[in-house]
Amino acid sequence: MARNKREVDHDVKRGQIEDAACRLFLVDGYEATSMAAVAKAAGVAPNTLYWYFANKDDLLVAVLDRHVNQAIAQLATKQDQPLSTQLKWLLVEFQRTSRLVSTVHARMDRSDTIRVWHDRFHAMLDQMLVDRMVSKGMSRAKASVMATVGTYVVEGLLSHPHTSQQMDKVVLWLAGNDQL
């Protein structure tokens, strides 16, 4: 008897649950965060989550979309800065979410929802990268290869330990070679 039934808008409450999940998934990781923990942080009973999300993977997708949309929005404000700067900013930005990258790959073949999201994300990223390189004068054939290479190198850098020097060297090579 308090905050239920229309006292709070559906989307607002859904957003509050996403807030809690967002925070916990980043700090503790997806697998280490139980639905019970998310519910507690959001101030609801565990099963209430299932009114707003079909399952835990669905909640993950909502969290992922938040991160991606935020990154895209912030990147848009940096379009006129040098490309190496943008690349480095993107790396630092995604480093915070590197655990989620691993989680997505691990859950892809257990959850259709996650696999669809993953494939869509890569299609979008790939198109973005190819278009940029083509507009810089690179042939579409080469741009296609370099987009794939660039994506996987960044993913690898994110999910493996590195000295910042080694990382800088690789980013430098990438920026020079890709003509991003």
Partner DNA sequence: ACCTGAACACCGTTCAAGT
**Interacting residues with DNA (CB under 7 A):** 1, 3-6, 8, 10, 13, 33-37, 44-48, 50-52, 55-57
Of the listed pieces 54-62, 79-87, 104-112, 127-135, which binds a copy of itself according to CB under 8 A? 104-112
Host H or E run for residue 178: helix 164-178
Window 115 to 134, contacts with a copy of itself (CB under 8 A)? 119, 122
CA distance 37 to 155: 29
Half-sphere exposure of 5 (CA within 13 A, CB side): 2
d(Cα 80, Cα 55) in Å, to the nearest integer?
A: 41
Angle between the N-to-C axes of helices 98-107 and 83-95, in degrees from 0 to 180, rounded to the nearest 10 = 70
Which residue of 41, 90, 155, 179 would you call a contact of a copy of itself, by CB under 8 A? 155
Note whether 18 and 62 are within 8 A (CB).
Answer: yes
For residue 29, give the nearest of 17, 16, 38 by alpha carbon.
38
State the minimum distance, in angstroms, from the CB of residue 43 to DNA.
8
Encoded tokens for 17: 């649950």
Closer CB to a copy of itself, 45 or 145, in the complex: 145
Nearer to a copy of itself, 17 or 60 (CB): 60
Residue 46, contacted partner among DNA, a copy of itself, none, CB below 5-8 A by kind: DNA
| Binding residues vs a copy of itself (CB under 8 A) | 29, 31-32, 99, 102-103, 105-106, 108-110, 119, 122, 141, 144-145, 148-149, 151-153, 155-157, 159-161, 166, 169-170, 173-174
